[in-house]
Structure 1
Amino acid sequence: MPAQEQEVEAAMEAFLLRVVPNLRQQWKGATPDAIARIEQIAGRPLPPFYRWFLSRMGQSMGPLAYPTLDFSAQRVLDCYAKGWVAPHPRLLLIAHDSNSMMPMPLFYDLDAPARGDALVASKEEGADEDDLYEKFETLREMLAWGALSLFRLEKMPQICRGTFHGDHPNLLALIEPVMSSLGFKQPISTGPYCGLYERDDAALICIGTPRQGLDKVRSFKFSGNTAGVLRKILGEIAAASSLEVQVDEWVPALQ
């Protein structure tokens, strides 16, 4: 693995081990043979981040596991072996969905590589490749977004949800300098669709949908010690940029 990719994965590993309780004791990687068999199904080299992910969590994601999504290498191999999903030159199954109502397994779009990773999309069983619902530009960002949301934002006393709107081609480029000036750090590097920002008393996550023509909006979840802290920071973002800030929900509701 090139040195730059090693640095990226080291930052991701440090972030997850810091944020997710007991992850080091509970995660378990897939065997090299299982990883090689998945690569054979893909018919091309796996994204470097996916190889790292499988080597760390290909058997167990520990506390980071999703309720209905099974990312394990063995489950992926079983789905192909049992004919539940057929090999495809572009799409690679990365997570089986056990939801009995409307299963939406996750796939890599290997024709949409990004930063040593690839676009993550879901689709209903039996749907064709044109009916993809694109979720995250990379698996790295999906995992980091989920970890920060579940293990930091959801643990803080006050949460708000809303959207940033603007005409700039990269909305996060307007948000990042404001957050940096307010003492927020970005735990990992991300692309233009996903923003992760942390401070001791607050954390913000933003997400946009890749390739869906939604460049003018990013939804956000923002948590902190008090509503006053969150309001002040959102006010700073609105004042220092051309963005419109819309808050749709406070949890708990404000009096």
Structure 2
Amino acid sequence: MEELLLRVVPGLAEQWQGATPEEIAQIERIAGRPLPPFYRWFLARMGQSMGPLVYPFLDFSAQRLVSSYAEEVVEPEPRFLLIAYNSSRMMPMHLFYDLDAPTRADAMVTEREAQGHEDDLYDQFETLREMLAWDALYQFRMREMPQQCKGTLSGDHPNLLSLIEPVMSHLGFKQSIATGPYCRLYERADAVMLCKGMPRQGVDQARSFGLGGTSDSALRKILGEIATATPLKVKVDEWAPALT
């Protein structure tokens, strides 16, 4: 993960700043249980500043999280831990760890109001690791590609994204990091493909994708290989720039 971020995000090594051990210990006391190992790594590397990876309205800093609990903006809960405070004035939805959904030394990232109810969750990623990697690749690789498209992969299979692995390998793509069944991040020198599904949403027959490359013909070739070599249905919803 660290190799990926340092490679993809320009200037990150010079600008990221970690939280202090005392701040990390404070957050762990708020959580009331050991922090996921990946989150400890994140706080140690970016708990004070995320550098160029910063989000427009989301504040992941340890200082903001601790102050949110100290000011009783958020109440401590055994299950949920605030990991990003949303400063938007229009219906701010904050990011929380669901600590009862641990996965691969990490935990589920869900979105809800500060004093939200357990039933009002909007799950985002199965892990914070996948969220950060997805956003870094989208912001600093996919958006830089001359041609992009977005759409869905759908089918009747217990692990949809496993079906595209041999195809992507054959096309020269490598997985950026190890991921779970709801996410795949693929790169090669001239293209990047990001796939995402919503965990715990009850809809397990589709995954959204974003694909960026040198031209629409190059992207069509990649999608055509997936459609031909797998039983998945490939649907493109949007081209950017729009095709004439």
- Output the TM-score relative to the length of structure 1: 0.95
Percent identity reads 68
Shift in Å at residue 126 of structure 1? 2.9
Q: Deviations over 1:204-230 (max 9, x none)?
A: 000000011121000010000011010
SS in 2 for 1:195: strand
Q: 3-state DSSP class of the match of 2:211? A: strand
Q: Which residue of 2 aligns with 1:115?
A: 104
Match of 2:234 in 1: 245
Shift in Å, 1:124: 2.1
**What is aligned with 1:79?**
68
Matched pairs, number = 244
Q: CA deviation at 1:16?
A: 0.2
**Residues 157-195 of structure 1, C-alpha deviations (whole Å, 9 max, x = no match):** 000000000101101100111101110001110000011
For 1:196, the equivalent position in structure 2 comes to 185
Return the offset for 1:127. Answer: 2.1
Establish whether residue 55 from structure 1 lines up as the match of residue 49 from structure 2: no
Question: Counterpart of 1:45?
Answer: 34
Residue 91 of structure 2 aligns with an amino acid whose one-letter code is M
Q: Does 2:57 correspond to 1:68?
A: yes
Residue from 198, 211, 214 that aligns with 1:209: 198
Equivalent residue, structure 2, for 1:4:
none
The residue that corresponds to 1:167 in the other structure is 156
Partner-residue secondary structure (3-state), 1:87: coil
Unaligned runs of 5+ residues in structure 2 are: none
SS of residue paired to 1:203:
strand
Amino acid at match of 2:41: W
Unaligned runs of 5+ in 1: 1-11
- SS of the residue corresponding to residue 131 of structure 1 reads coil
| One-letter code aligned to 2:52 | P
C-alpha distance in structure 2 between counterparts of 1:160 and 1:139, whole Å = 25
Aligned residues of 2:47 and 2:62 also touching (Cα < 8 A): yes
The residue type paired with residue 134 of structure 1 is D
Q: CA RMSD in A?
A: 0.6
Match of 1:20 in 2: 9
Distance 1:101 1:152 in 2: 29
Per mean C-alpha deviation after superposition, the further-off stretch among 94-103 and 117-126 is 117-126
Distance 2:159 2:48 in 1: 37
4+ runs of 1 displaced by more than 6 Å? none
Task: Determine the C-alpha separation between the residues in 2 that align with 1:130 and 1:160.
Answer: 33
Instruction: Work out whether residues 153 and 208 of structure 2, in 8 Å CA contact, stay in contact via their aligned partners in 1.
Output: yes
TM-score (norm 2): 0.99
